[in-house]
Amino acid sequence: MNRTKAFSFFKPLALVLMLMLSINANAQKERLQTALIYQLTRLVEWCPEGKQGNFVVAIVGNEPTLLTELLALQVRRVGTQQIEVKSFASIGDVTKANILFIPESMFDNVEEITAKAGGECTMLISDKVGAARRGAGADVSLVYNTRVSKLELEINRGNMRSKGFSVNDQLYNLATNIY
């Protein structure tokens, strides 16, 4: 009987602990994505139109954890430009940005989102597996591999070149896949 009572006491405690660990793992993904997005700002030479005004990093859709992490970048600069973080609730709200993060849940609308973002100087980033491989898709994919708790970077070199981005070789060295 006492063993049953002890188990019933520890069972909810174990569930709470597991929940806390899973929340921490999710936050880890967004923390890593934010760190890599910041590195992209440093390792890519932006086209002239991307060097005017604030440096805008934006997200399409509802990604509150990533948005919270990205907001910490607003104290930083890209060259002389202040980083500004925006969140677009819907595709209709999308405006020009230097970096536009398109989550997997919104990626089916990538062509419409790209058209709304306008300009050749917008780097598209997604967390959808294979998004960088897709010709009309993202320039960069930041895919979180849950098996090894690691962020994998995929780059579409052709998309980057066609948009006039000059990419530092260090970024290519970080990439898991280059298309």
* pTM as predicted: 0.83
- How would you write 1-23 as a 3-class SS string? CHHHHHHHHHHHHHHHHHHHHHH
Pick from 144, 102, 108, 143: which is nearest to 124 by CA? 102
Residues 125-160: tens digit of each pLDDT: 999 888 998 765 679 998 888 888 888 999 999 989
Length reported for the chain: 179
CB-based contacts of 21, cutoff 8 Å, min separation 6: none
Task: State percent of the chain over pLDDT 90.
Answer: 60
Q: What topology does CATH give the domain 28-178? A: Rossmann fold (3.40.50)
- Bridge partners, residue 58, by sequence: 86, 100
